[in-house]
Amino acid sequence: MEKLFTMKKGVKNAIMIAGGLTVGFANGFFGGGGGMLCVPLLDKALGEKTKISHATAMLIILPISIASAVTYVVNGYFDLRITLFTGIGVIVGGIIGALLLKKLDSGVVGIIFALLMVAAGIKQAFF
């Protein structure tokens, strides 16, 4: 919080724009992952509180995702069936996840999730 006010305005603006360019590239090129970059941009680089960083990142990602989604669809990358059923799953999972967040030890879940990501990444990159 204090960091936000002590940081020079020009420096802060430059960090926000450079961060925005990185977040936008990742989200458009990979179709996701922008949020995972936007949160550390807000809390680590700009010194924002963690909760506010998570919430604000969602708002920032929304227009990027919509614009990128439109581009993908216009370019012919769209499958209604998969999108519909996966979308239903995401809503159900999202509600469960939000409820579980209060009960589960998010540290353990975070580690499992990170290991899953690395494993999936190795599979995608090398096999």
Partner 1 sequence: MIFVYIIAGIAGGLIGGMGMGGGTLLIPLLTIFCGVEQHIAQAVNLIAFVPMSIVAIIIHAKNHLIKGAYFPWIAIPATVVGIAASFLARNLDGKILGKCFGFFLIALGIYQLICAIVAMVKNKKEKGER
Q: Which of residues 106-125 bind partner 1 (CB under 8 A)?
A: 106-107, 109-111, 113-118, 120-125
The residues in 37-76 that bind partner 1, with binding defined as CB under 8 A, are: 38, 40-42, 46, 48, 51-52, 54-56, 58-69, 71-73, 75
Asked if 29 touches partner 1 (CB under 8 A), the answer is yes
Place of tokens 């603006």: 13
Q: Report, in this order, helix, strand and coil percent for the chain, each rounded to 5.
A: 85, 0, 15
Nearer Cβ to partner 1 (7/28): 28
Beta carbons of 33 and 48 less than 8 angstroms apart: no
Nearest approach in angstroms of CB 6 to partner 1 is 16
CA distance linking residue 81 with residue 94, whole number of Å: 20
